[in-house]
Amino acid sequence: MKLETMVTRASLILGLFWGCQGPDLNASEVSLAWDSPANNIDGSMVSDLAGYKLYCGTSSRSYSTILDIGNTNACKVADLAQGLTYYFAVTAYLRNDVQSDYSTELVWSAPDTTPPLISAPAAVSVMAEANGLAAVPNLVQSVVVSDNCSPPAAILVAQAPAAGVLISPGVTPVVLTATDQSGNSARVTVNVTAMATTLPAPWNARDISSGSLRAGGTSVSNGVFTLSGAGNISGSADNCRYAYQALSGDGEIRARVASLANAGANAKAGVMIRESLTGSSRHATVSLSPAGQLEFLVRTSTGGSVSSTVSPGNVAPNNWVRLTRKGSKITAMKSANGTAWTSIATKTVNMASAISVGLVTVSGDTNSLSTATIANVTVIP
């Protein structure tokens, strides 16, 4: 190959004229232009230029697309994916197919102007507490998001009003906003209906949550409590549905778990003594599982792990459960008739004098609900 037949690289300059969004809203296009080479390496005039080739790829000097532009100094490249960075270079070739080296490389990032897609349930209902107010549930967990560039894990979802804000009975619009890595956002509105409580004083009910939790509910009719709840009683913090009243000093609660429906393997329903309404609180719980086993669950330190003592249950629906507090000693008991009681275990749990005592149910996961009916509830201060 003779020097005089080679096109000089230095005379080939690639420039970006502009970038714009193409007809496909998920793609972009750019217009490129470059100078014509005037001289061969030996300084002689280029007289047999045949055309140009444009190289394009998403890695520097590694081009996945090659376009023969012909003998013109400009071209348009379309269907470039938004959010990606592209690398461009041009070569010139003579009529005998001799080709120059690559031009200076141009780097361009296709802007992402497409908002994410977001969907959520159109409406949800929550039960108000005995004070007439209900807490806005955490709806972020119910959102499904996708995006043309950002992975779902990188999309930020915000909720307003925030989870836990107290609302009055009626309908409250809750706006969920999804924002991708490029700042594009989309919104969806969920109508949250707060229903007036049917719990008699001194009972209250709420979801105890250490994170995202599907909202549960509580009602009572003719002395029978119905609790729907998600979550689990495990680890360093609980997620559960809890109907409760205050207890100061020694006391006990007893009840009959009549049914547990729509339950996963880790669902539970029973009675609980709890130091506070935080997820990491100390507590003692005796509950029935779907398999018919009774579990005495205890967290002895705030944020500590939960220990479990398992005992055979009785024939449904006659699973009576009982917790008795005397000082720092809490005893779990069971009965088939509410009269003759058998001890499951006694544990030492140092709690404050003023605590809560009540009924609890969980489904075994944070996204689904199980429903328990609990009858013959007695609290003795």
Q: Residue 252 corresponds to which amino acid? A: E
Lowest mean per-residue pLDDT among 154-163, 215-224, 245-254: 215-224
DSSP 98: -
Residue 5 predicted with pLDDT over 50: no
Quick check: 263 pLDDT over 80?
no
CA separation (Å) from 99 to 35, 91, 168, 204? Answer: 16, 7, 76, 82
Rounded mean pLDDT, 74-91: 87
Q: Binning pLDDT at 50, 70 and 90, where does residue 97 land?
A: confident
Residue scoring higher pLDDT (299 or 213): 299
For the ranges 26-40, 57-71, 362-376, the lowest mean pLDDT is seen at 26-40
| Residue 153 amino acid letter | A
Beta-carbon contacts of 222 under 8 Å, excluding residues fewer than 6 positions away, are none
Q: Of 233 and 367, which is predicted with more confidence?
A: 233
Give the C-alpha distances (Å, rounded to integers) separating 366 from 185, 273, 289.
Answer: 27, 22, 17
pLDDT of residue 19: 42
pLDDT at 25 over 50: no
Domains of the chain with CATH codes: 3-109 (2.60.40.10), 113-197 (2.60.40.10), 199-381 (2.60.120.200)
More confident residue, 43 or 81: 81
∠ CA 322-328-334, rounded to 5°:
15
In the structure, what pLDDT confidence band is assigned to residue 374 with cuts at 50, 70 and 90? very high
Residue 14 has pLDDT above 90, yes or no: no
pLDDT score, position 197: 64
Amino acid 130: pLDDT: 59
Instruction: Please provide the average confidence, as pLDDT, over all residues in the chain.
Output: 86
* C-alpha torsion sign, points 304, 311, 342, 240: positive
Residue 298 contacts residue 283 (beta carbons within 8 Å): yes
Q: Is the pLDDT of residue 179 over 90?
A: yes
| pLDDT of the residue at 305 | 95
pLDDT at 298 over 60: yes
Give Cα 202 distance to the centre of its chain: 35
Q: What percent of the residues of the chain are helix, what percent strand, and what percent coil, each to the nearest 5? A: 5, 55, 40
pLDDT at 255: 97
346-366: average pLDDT: 95
In this prediction, residue 373 carries a pLDDT of 94
Residue with more model confidence, 349 or 150: 349
pTM above 0.95, yes or no: no
Say if residues 99 and 55 touch (Cβ distance below 8 Å). Answer: no
Spatial strand order in the sheet of 283-288: 204-208, 240-248, 354-362, 268-274, 283-288, 293-299, 307-312
Collapsing DSSP to helix, strand or coil, 14 comes out as strand
Report helix, strand or coil for 154: helix
- Decide if pLDDT at 2 tops 60: no
| SS3 state at 269 | strand
Pairing label, strands 166-167, 123-127: unpaired
What secondary structure letter does DSSP report for 152?
G
Q: Which residue has the higher pLDDT, 143 or 7?
A: 143
pLDDT of residue 200: 86
Q: pLDDT per residue over 219-233, tens digit each?
A: 888 899 999 899 999
Cα separation values, 63 from 28, 31, 86, 102, 112, Å? 18, 18, 9, 11, 22
